Amino acid sequence: MYAKIQPVQVFPNNANVLVLSTPIVTLGSSAVMTAFLKDTFEGAYLTPGATLTLTGEAYAAWGTDDEYLYTYTAQQLGLTIVEIVRDIIAPPLPDMSAPEVAS
């Protein structure tokens, strides 16, 4: 799943797609996810990612529909969703792990 958004200028391209990481959930209380902007679904990531946390009413409103995660994220980031695209596997997210240090 991903969301097509109204274009947002992210130098040097326009971001047209919002992709979310799989939420890390603390059952019954919160979820944390990362939002990335891309130029196209298959294109390069244009942003390093914004971390969002759902708690309280936002977490309770999530339920079982992941479309809510996209609408919530768009509201938090000031984005406008044009279309939610379901039934598609999102491309792999960038490796956010710390680089290995040579010993």
CA distance 73 to 51: 10
**Residue 2: exposed, middle, or buried by beta-carbon count in 10 A (0-12, 13-18, 19+)?**
buried
Domain boundaries in the chain? 2-84
Mean pLDDT of the chain: 86
Of the two residues 45 and 96, the one the predictor is more confident about is 45
39, two tokens: 């130029």
9, two tokens: 């200028």
Q: Does 90 have pLDDT greater than 70?
A: no
Torsion angles phi and psi, residue 92, rounded to 5? -60, 140
The whole-model pTM stands at: 0.79
pLDDT, tens only, 18-46: 999 999 999 999 999 999 999 888 888 88
Torsion angles phi and psi, residue 27, rounded to 5? -50, 130
For residue 89, the model assigns a pLDDT of: 64
DSSP 8-state class, residue 29: T
